[in-house]
Amino acid sequence: MKTPAPGRACGVVLVLLSLATLQTLRAQKNDIDIYSLTVDSRVSSRFAHTVVTSRVVNKASTLQEVTFQMELPKKAFITNFSMIIDGVTYPGNIKEKAAAQEQYSAAVERGESAGLVKATGRKTEQFQVSVSVAPAAKITFELVYEELLVRHLGAYELLLKVQPQQLVKHLQMDIYIFEPQGISFLETESTFMTNELAEALTTTQNKTKAHVRFRPTLSQQQKSPEQQQDTVLDGNFIVRYDVDRTVSGGSIQIENGYFVHYFAPEHLATIPKNVIFVIDKSGSMSGRKIQQTREALIKILGDLGPRDQFNLISFSGEATPWKPQLVAASAENVNAAKSYAAAIQARGGTNINDAILMAVQLLERANREELLPPGSVTLIILLTDGDPTVGETNPSEIQKNVQEAIDGQHSLFCLGFGFDVSYAFLEKLALDNGGLARRIYEDSDSALQLQDFYQEVANPLMTSVAFEYPSNTVEAVTQDAFRLFFKGSELVVAGKLRDQSPDVFSAKVRGQLHMENITFVTESRVAEQEEAFWSPRYIFHSFMERLWAYLTIQQLLEQTVSMPDAEKQALEARALNLSLSYSFVTPLTSMVITKPEGQEQSQVAEKPVENENRHRNVHSGHTLFRYHSVGGKASRVSGGSSADPVFSTRRGWRGQGVFDKLYNFPTRLGPPGPLHPHLPYPPHRTPWRPTPPDVMPRLSATSFLDEHDMDLRIKETTMASPHHAPIQPPSVILPLPGRSVDRLCVDLKRSQGPTNLLSDPGQGPESVCSLRLGSTDFPSHSWPRCPAQCQGLR
């Protein structure tokens, strides 16, 4: 979350659906007033269309800046954003990335101010738009985005985190749900609800429709009679629901020539599984990470079914199996495995290649010796927090080795702990082998995150699931074959109906249960289905075509991860055409928002790809700000704690690429603030100083912000070049190359001339390893003079 800035600023941050945040930056009393803030979300057959509207007035007698900040759900696509200032609408235009960048650059060259909203990844999205507002002027922000809700552990969820941080005269959230299958249950949950606020919450529901409204008055928002200007709204607001499933073959819904097929059969027996847990115990896992891993592993082992088989492989420089072969999940074996897990200690390097290949070999040998139960499922679950450093370290070679070894026979799931691991590497590794990748955030609930992921894959119900439709009935069908179906999830297929489709639409779903094949058959009358979506005011019409486009784009982007370059370009071209046709801001498009003329500052807000977040950790106890002048006065606007932090627990100073390539930093001892992504020090910011030695031990990687606070890059363009303040680098600790466990402690102090990091007097001057970065040099010093916090890392 972004800590608000006191003073002449106001903003709105919202994430709805899979992650939701509703926040306004704290504004000075009687200056900027957010007099209306509304959210209207319409969920039609799992597809959510959300409109956020914020209305602001400048009550001050001087020019003020208003900032609209936005966080999107991980897989939501923006479809529109606009500002209305004094009756003039400034719309956003969605274009191909290159064209958007050209328009932005041209606006800057003409002296105009433009906000460039770019999406460059598939996991999270944030952007920020600021505009100056004249005294007494009003401005309206309107944002529209869409997302397909995913069933997770038996429910769909709308999660709203409400933190307005000031009283809002008209604050209203409306969530409309229309599910033709019928709503089986619906509940709301809140962490801030009081008896007074409960009166502002209403829920109405019938068989297929529900409406949740939250509309607190000013008095209901007040924290207490003594704190009348402070709001009590601070926490999570959740709407959770599921649908009826009376037909085993799933539900086919049709609207305006498009169909969607939802498949989640119930009352199926769980298939026994053979699972190998591959656990990273390298030195970087030490501390809370290995402790949480042990805690989660012990809980997960206790959840194994009596028909399951399992084994453990722990690895650092070498991989070591707990047992020479898989064992049954009996009470005796599970207890022994728990004792083994509790004793895992973190030390050494990271040999991912050998660890995964050992897991495959164990499964292959068990299969040859007919030790795997007939009809069972084989899973490998990898947990690692870093890149390979021992054995085969080339990511491409590891991916090739693993794919050849697995050969489509097993499913590999990769969990990346923290931000020092290459997520792109893990994602491709998993998708190449029938699994998926997931980020585990370093936080107090990391163990729960691990357990939650395991619950998603703990109960396989079907394998080799294939959807079949008459070829003369449908076209442009999305993914229709799936390796596994797990309890609590849902498989979704969408497509177009041909012009001459029959009156009755039929489908078959084939798959394998534990010991038998099964075929589900379902039919749907086209006219009846079309009629179901004509009348309800809860839905937005032609939504199913947008659902089909949304799902197609998502799947095309996922396929590009595993494809060769030639095929990747073809997939991206298809995804780009759909993105432009349906006005989606995707990783291939950008939205340009042009602001009124005469405003000095231009901004670029980017969403980095998931893998870039490995460079983006910041200490959670600090707020980051941008400073610039508005109307001749200093105005401080929160740039958010995610505004391109450039320090990470391994990679260190992101702005210095040479240093990145030479060493991986084992801990971050740098400043809390962000740096401009293309400058060695931050413009418009006061310089930071090294953290005092007595404070350094308190700065741990586990206290960094999670990914949702690390996605926003702000690129600022001003008409005048700022004066750059000097920067004082921090102390760092460098691991030595190769298999050495020694560390080199370095004070990063400003000096003149290159710095010798390592040298061997016996080999002469050619053995000297020196480094110069810009005008900043990095002299090493001997261990006896290292700060106290370095001594224990030798």
Alpha carbon distance 380, 278 (integer Å): 7
* pLDDT classification of 756: cutoffs 50, 70, 90: low
Least-confidence region, from 275-284, 460-469, 733-742 = 733-742
Tell me the β-bridge partners of 40.
Answer: 51, 174
Min mean pLDDT across 24-28, 203-207, 457-461, 626-630 is at 626-630
Instruction: List, in order, residues 6 or more apart from 678 with CB less than 8 Å away.
Output: 655, 715
Q: Are 326 and 310 in contact (CB under 8 A)?
A: yes
* Higher pLDDT among residues 436 and 109, named by residue: 436
Query: What's the pLDDT score for residue 224?
Result: 76
Residue 320's contacts (CB-CB under 8 Å, 6 or more residues apart) are 313, 314
Report the residue count for the chain: 794
- Pick the more confident residue, 206 or 776: 206
pLDDT at 203: 95
Instruction: Identify the CA nearest to 64 among candidates 130, 13, 143.
Output: 130
Mean of pLDDT values over 775-791:
37
pLDDT tens track for 153-204: 999 987 776 777 778 899 999 999 999 999 999 999 988 888 889 999 999 9
The Cα 631–Cα 225 span in angstroms is 36
> pLDDT grade, residue 699 (50/70/90)?
very low
- For the record, the structure tokens of 85 come out as 């200032």
Give the least confident one: 142-146, 164-168, 588-592: 164-168
Mean pLDDT of the 519-532 span: 87
Distance CA 582, CA 225 (A): 49
Q: What is the mean pLDDT of the chain?
A: 74
Phi then psi for residue 196, to 5 deg, are: -70, -45
Average pLDDT on 661-665 reads 31
- The terminus-to-terminus CA distance of the chain in angstroms comes to 36
User: In the predicted model, is pLDDT for residue 772 greater than 90?
Assistant: no
The candidate with the shortest Cα–Cα distance to 188, out of 220, 215, 164, 211, is 211
Confidence of residue 33 (pLDDT cuts 50, 70, 90): confident
Please report which confidence band the pLDDT of residue 294 belongs to, taking 50, 70 and 90 as the band edges.
very high
Q: Is 199 left (phi over 0), alpha (psi -120 to 50) or beta?
A: alpha
* E-only strand ranges, 536-657: 589-594, 602-607, 625-630, 633-638
Measured in whole angstroms, how far is the alpha carbon of residue 700 from the centre of its chain? 22
Task: State mean pLDDT over 641-649.
Answer: 32
In this structure, are residues 10 and 27 in contact, taking their beta carbons and an 8 Å threshold?
yes
| Residue carrying the six token digits 């982007």 | 557
Closest residue by Cα to residue 550 from 148, 194, 175? 148
What CA–CA distance (Å, rounded) separates 24 from 13? 6
State how far the alpha carbon of 579 is from the alpha carbons of 96, 587, 589, in Å.
Answer: 9, 9, 7
User: Who wins on pLDDT, 429 or 773?
Assistant: 429
At 744, the pLDDT band (50, 70, 90 cuts) reads low
With CA atoms as reference, report the closest residue to 68 among 34, 118, 93: 34
pLDDT of residue 783: 36
Residues 530-551, mean pLDDT to the nearest whole number = 83
Contacts of 453 (CB under 8 A, 6+ apart): 413, 415, 438, 440
Mean local confidence (pLDDT), 586-604: 69
Write the pLDDT tens digit of every residue in 490-505.
999 999 999 877 888 8
Classify burial at 609, counting beta carbons within 10 Å of its beta carbon; exposed 0-12, middle 13-18, buried 19 or more: middle
Residue 44 confidence (pLDDT) above 50: yes
Mean pLDDT of 340-344: 94
Residue 743 is predicted with a pLDDT of: 53
Judged by average pLDDT, the poorest of 306-315, 340-349, 725-734 is 725-734
Residue 110 has a pLDDT of 66
Of 143-157, 316-330, 594-608, least confident by mean pLDDT is 594-608
Q: Which residues contact 373 (CB under 8 A, 6 or more apart)?
A: 272, 274, 307, 309
State pLDDT tens for residues 117-128.
544 433 446 667
DSSP 732: E
Asked which of 308-322, 384-398, 441-455, 522-536 is least confident by mean pLDDT, the reply is 522-536
Residues 8-33, mean pLDDT to the nearest whole number: 43
The candidate with the shortest Cα–Cα distance to 182, out of 163, 164, 162, 208, is: 208
Look at the alpha carbons of 756, 757, 759, 764 in this order and tell me if their dihedral is positive or negative.
negative
Strands of 563-704, DSSP E: 589-594, 602-607, 625-630, 633-638
Instruction: Please compute the mean of the pLDDT values over residues 256-274 and round it to a whole number.
Output: 94
Q: What DSSP string runs through 525-571?
A: EHHHHHHHTTS-TTS-TTHHHHHHHHHHHHHHHHHHTTS-HHHHHHH
**How is residue 679 written in tokens?**
């400058």
User: Which pLDDT value is given to residue 742?
Assistant: 52
3-state DSSP assignment of residue 339: helix
Torsion angles phi and psi, residue 189, rounded to 5: -145, 140
- pLDDT tens, 463-484? 999 999 998 899 999 999 999 9
Question: ∠615-646-740 over CA atoms, to 5°?
Answer: 55
CA distances from 338 to 235, 314, 335, 436, 576 (A): 36, 13, 5, 26, 49
Angle between helices 543-560 and 565-581 (to 10 degrees): 160
Contact 313, 319 (CB under 8 A): yes
* Cα 607 to Cα 586: distance, rounded to the nearest angstrom: 10
Going by pLDDT thresholds of 50, 70 and 90, the confidence category of residue 229 is confident
Task: Give the whole-angstrom CA distance, residue 230 versus residue 168.
Answer: 11
Q: pLDDT tens across 503-521, in order?
A: 888 999 999 999 999 999 9
pLDDT recorded at residue 227? 67
Q: How confident is the model at residue 602 (pLDDT cuts 50, 70, 90)?
A: very low
Determine which of 41-50, 164-173, 718-727 has the lowest per-residue pLDDT on average: 718-727
d(CA 260, CA 251): 8
Provide the pLDDT for residue 594.
74
The two three-digit tokens of residue 522, written as one number: 């379902």
DSSP secondary structure of 71-122: EE-TT-EEEEEEEEETTEEEEEEEEEHHHHHHHHHHHHHTT--EEEEEE--S
- Give φ, ψ of 704 to 5 degrees: -75, 160
